[in-house]
């Protein structure tokens, strides 16, 4: 697998956007919404809104950085360009890879909850077969992997629209006036804790930047795709979260291992359709994380921030084989080892630390007036500064909470 073999630059704006939407809305809404409601209660939509605002500001930083530095190493490359500290870039790259791995393990755990709607098999067997299959798809080729992600994303968005449609007809257990009332002071603690957990549901847009060397015209395509993905996902989250607490008692929603299936049941419909779609959604999110982590290792190895072996690309499939196999193996270990909520909290915490550093790196680059090439997307310097403050504030709050 010689180093002269490179990744295949073939992804368009629609495909890249669907790739981002697929990884954002997978486990977050299909698996985690019940866990967020356990702490946010009736104010579930506010938790998702706050998490979405923080994610959107950070997404703007990633959009500009991906236009300035369209490299597969993503966050690690941005940190390196900002401060030229090899150890810091390596640390950030390692943390991003860990979050991809832990996130995929989280998703694999969520898959079991929906699979149990149809068949009873040991959890460890279901998780092992799922991750093995997804690793093989990731090795198959980027066009094939991206096409799989796009098709499944269309299916899972259709599933959310189905849930929204039937839930609008379901009997209400709460009034809109209660759901969208301004939370009292003592209720904000639950909203903030919920937003920390809900933040996991928005993770995914940062994965898109690791496709920079496989996207056509990345300086323009990646920023647009990132903003499209975050906007569509936030809108869907807000609607589903509001309908969830309107149609289900909070304790029931919090205890459900398949929350969207519970919403459909409350509307008097069978869980078969949404159960199948939910499994597709969960699988989609895990596939994207495998692709992301393997491309990150590949990009870091090319910049000599990781062992050179990870820079090897198959001449036949044009995919990083060693990196993909390693990522798939570690995901399997994590998925069999830790429960879903713990995995989600670990992912959210690490990503907030990484987002803080990435926002600060863009602020530093803009503050010193670094020159940019023609066609680079640029936003006001206040955006990364505000995003940094919000990310740090959410991290600090968790310790006090």
One digit per residue, the tens of pLDDT, for the chain of length 401 reads 445 566 677 788 988 888 888 778 765 677 678 888 999 999 999 999 988 888 899 999 999 998 888 877 778 888 988 888 888 988 988 888 888 888 788 778 777 777 877 888 888 898 899 889 888 888 887 677 777 777 877 887 888 899 999 999 889 999 999 898 988 888 888 888 888 888 878 877 887 887 788 888 888 899 999 999 999 988 888 899 999 999 999 999 998 877 888 899 988 888 788 878 877 777 777 777 788 788 888 888 887 888 888 888 888 888 888 989 999 898 888 888 776 667 767 777 888 899 999 999 999 999 987 666 777 889 999 999 999 999 998 888 777 76
- Please report the pLDDT score of residue 346 as a whole number: 78
In CATH, which of 1.10.3660.10, 1.20.1740.10, 1.10.10.10, 3.10.560.10 is domain 13-400?
1.20.1740.10
CA distance 6 to 166: 47
For residue 11, the cross-strand partners are 215
Tokens of 336: 């069999």
Q: Are 146 and 23 in contact (CB under 8 A)?
A: no
Give residue 207's Cα distance to chain centre: 7
Terminus-to-terminus CA distance in the chain, angstroms? 50
Q: What is the pTM of this model?
A: 0.78
204 dihedral zone (left: phi>0; alpha: psi -120 to 50; beta): left
- Please report the pLDDT score of residue 7 as a whole number: 67
CA distance 62 to 58: 6
What is the number of other CB atoms lying within 10 angstroms of the CB of residue 315? 9
370-387: buried (b, 16+ CB within 10 Å) or exposed (e) per residue? Answer: eeeeeebbebeeebbbbb
- Please report the pLDDT score of residue 152 as a whole number: 79
């Amino acid at each position: 697998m010689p180093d002269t073999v490179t990744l295949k630059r073939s992804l368009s704006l629609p495909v890249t956007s669907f790739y981002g939407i697929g990884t954002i809305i997978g486990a977050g809404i299909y698996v985690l919404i019940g866990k967020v409601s356990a702490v946010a209660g009736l104010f579930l939509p506010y938790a998702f809104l706050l998490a979405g605002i923080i994610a959107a500001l950070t997404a703007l930083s990633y959009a500009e950085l991906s236009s300035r530095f369209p490299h597969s190493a993503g966050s690690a490359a941005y940190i390196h360009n900002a401060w030229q500290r090899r150890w810091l870039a390596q640390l950030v790259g390692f943390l991003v890879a860990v979050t991809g791995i832990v996130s995929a393990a989280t998703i694999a755990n969520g898959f079991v909850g929906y699979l149990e709607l149809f068949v009873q098999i040991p959890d460890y067997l279901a998780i092992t077969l799922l991750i093995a299959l997804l690793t093989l798809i990731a090795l198959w080729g980027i066009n094939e992997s991206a096409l799989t992600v796009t098709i499944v994303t269309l299916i899972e968005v259709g599933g959310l629209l189905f849930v929204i449609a039937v839930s609008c007809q379901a009997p209400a257990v709460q009034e809109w006036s209660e759901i969208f009332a301004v939370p009292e002071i003592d209720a904000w603690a639950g909203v903030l804790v919920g937003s920390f957990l809900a933040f996991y549901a928005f993770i995914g847009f940062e994965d898109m930047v690791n496709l920079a060397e496989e996207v056509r015209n990345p300086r323009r395509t990646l920023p647009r795709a990132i903003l499209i993905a975050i906007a569509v996902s936030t809108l869907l989250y807000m609607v589903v979260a509001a309908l969830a607490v309107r149609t289900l008692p909070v304790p029931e929603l919090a205890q459900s291992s398949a929350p969207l299936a519970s919403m459909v049941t409350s509307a008097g419909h069978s869980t078969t359709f949404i159960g199948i779609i939910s499994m597709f959604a969960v699988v989609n999110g895990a596939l994207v994380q495998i692709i992301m982590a393997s491309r990150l290792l590949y990009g870091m190895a090319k910049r000599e921030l990781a062992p050179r072996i990870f820079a090897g690309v198959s001449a036949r499939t044009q995919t990083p084989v060693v990196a993909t196999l390693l990522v798939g193996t570690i995901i399997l270990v994590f998925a069999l080892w830790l429960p879903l909520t713990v995995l989600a909290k670990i992912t959210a915490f690490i990503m907030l630390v990484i987002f803080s550093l990435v926002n600060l790196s863009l602020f530093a680059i803009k503050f010193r007036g670094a020159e940019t090439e023609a066609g680079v997307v640029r936003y006001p310097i206040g955006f990364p500064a505000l995003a940094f403050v919000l990310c740090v504030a959410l991290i600090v709050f968790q310790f006090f909470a």
